[in-house]
Structure formats: structure tokens, C-alpha cells
Amino acid sequence: MSVESRNTPETENGAAFDVCPDVEIIIEKRKRDLGGFSVGRVLPFAKRRMVGPFIFLDEMGPATFSPGSGIDVRPHPHIGLATVTYLFEGEIRHKDNLGVDQLIRPGDVNWMTSGRGIVHSERTDAALRAKGHTLHGIQSWVALPVSHEDTAPSFQHHPRLTLPMIERPGLQMRLIAGRAYGAESPVKTFSEMFYLGVEAQKDARIALPSDHEERALYLVSGSLSVNGIALAPGRLLVFAKGADPKIVVSEPSRLMLLGGANIGPRLIWWNLVASSSDRIEAGKKGWRDAAATGFAPGVFTLPPGETEHIPLPPE
């Protein structure tokens, strides 16, 4: 999905967690308007840019669309990252300039690797648009390691039934990508990471994966406590390295667990992610030049059937 705003204002940490050594920082989602559709922006954050390779995290919705309305994210470019779409409700039609045309539904994974450059759009299908619907999900970006920043672009779709389901008392955890709890997702990744969608019942206890360098929890709905301190929805907890917190679910809840190896700092400008400013500037120039030539054959072309695009934002 396209980023319409590059501003990342700071918010205050939850004061209660200042006395909890297991928690490094708590980040509250901030509302962003993507042209008639609001999201909750979590990452990047001024005091914590990344968690493992995760450099971007948005909660989309929940948003109810009346008949005749839906999302229309026009074609836009990406470099240096993989986009990960995971839905709880609704559906989205993805199209890219590799020729992929894929509908994503709840529990499925769309993983798009941009590498040296890709262009995609995300829209609501006509049939769903006609009857109205609710959309709710998580959009995240995973930065690529330096060795794969210029890899060939690609796209993976994995239906929910192909993803490992890890069960613990009161917990159902779908492994979206990476490795956790002895299981491995079929999604091809480029660095050590884990990403889980979790449905939790009251009184369930959550043990964090112990074999990853950086770890975080995002509470989508419900409530839980960390070392006896309550956490409200819409917040990301980034845990201290090696922490083993006591996490207890207070009511039926939905949450995401994510993290992995620290791959080093990254720059992010609009929809472009890179390890150097030169790569960012090359991405800007590539999109500007592609638009000027009517998207002639090259790195940045439009997906089949698309005629619109999002212009490069002003500096």
C-alpha cells in the first residue's frame, strides 16, 4: 500500500511501562488518512524505526464501506522491501507490473518482494464494492538485507490453509512468515524473522519466541497484561533483548507477534526503502522518468489494465 504521509510525530510512552524492564518502548498507533481511508500508523516511529526487519506497520480499519465505495490505491512503486498484507475481514485485489492479479482474503498472505523495483495497485473488486463491506487488516513492510536490495521483484500468495497453525492452551497462532515455536512458514524470506497472527482466549498465557534477537507484540483488539500491567489495543510493545515477560490475556483478543534479526539501519522516503540515499534518489528518478515517458518498458511500468498512477510527492 502507498504511504501518503512521510511525517512520523512522536507520542509518549505508556508511563506504567517505564518501570517494566522487560519492555523497551510502547508505541501507540497514529491516525493517517490515505485519501478517504484511515489507517493506524505504528512503524516507523521517531524513537524506534524498526523491529527486526520490520520497518513499516499499519492497521487498516476496521472500516465499513457503504455500497458503491471501496479502496482505490492507484499504482505506485516500491524498492528495497517486501510488502506483507494480512486481513482479518474483507478482501483486496492486488495487481502488479509482473502481471500478477491476486485477490487476498482473511488468513491468506500476499508477500510482494520489490527488490530493485516493482509497481502495484490495491483496489476493491466491483462485486464487493456494489454491496458494501468491512475491511480490517495489517499492512507491513519488511526491509530487505543489503545483499538482496537489488534482487528481482517477485510475488507470493499463500492461502491460509497452507500456513502452519501453532496451538497452545487458549491460543491459535498462524505463522505468516519466518520461523517460530519449531515451525516454519512456506513464505520465502531474506532474513531471520517471525510474524504470527494470534487469536487468544481469556486467561491464555503467551511465551515469546526465544530464538530471535528483536521481538514485539501489537494488540489489535481485546486486552492483556504484561508483568501485571494492562495494555490497551492499538499499541506495539517492543521487548528488551532476552526478556521473558509474563503475558496474560484478560479477554478474547487478537494480536500480532513479530520481529527477527537486526539488519541494520534503513532510510525510508515515501514508498522507497534503501540502505543508502543514492538508492532512494535513484528510485525517485526512476518513478519520475517513468511517468514522464508514459511508463515505457523498464523497471517501473504499470500493471496490466491500469492507466492511473500516484505521482512522486514533493520534496
pLDDT tens per residue, range 192-226: 999 999 999 999 999 999 999 999 999 999 999 99
In angstroms, the CA 310 to CA 198 distance is 34
Kindly report, residue by residue over 47-58, the tens digit of the pLDDT.
999 999 999 999
**% the chain with pLDDT above 90:** 88
Res. 242: pLDDT tops 60: yes
Res. 111: pLDDT tops 90: yes
- Please tell me which residue, 82 or 17, carries the higher pLDDT value: 82
Place 1 in a pLDDT band, splitting at 50, 70 and 90: low
Residue 75 C-alpha from the chain's centroid: 18
Determine the average pLDDT of the residues in 259-274: 97
Res. 105: pLDDT tops 90: yes
Helix (H, G, I), strand (E, B) or coil at 132: coil
Round the average pLDDT of the chain to a whole number and report it: 92
Res. 4: pLDDT tops 90: no
Judge if pTM exceeds 0.85.
Answer: yes
Determine the average pLDDT of the residues in 96-105: 97
Place 15 in a pLDDT band, splitting at 50, 70 and 90: very low
Kindly report, residue by residue over 121-155, the tens digit of the pLDDT.
999 999 999 998 999 999 999 999 999 999 999 99
In angstroms, the CA 142 to CA 83 distance is 6
The pLDDT, as a whole number, for residue 32 is 83
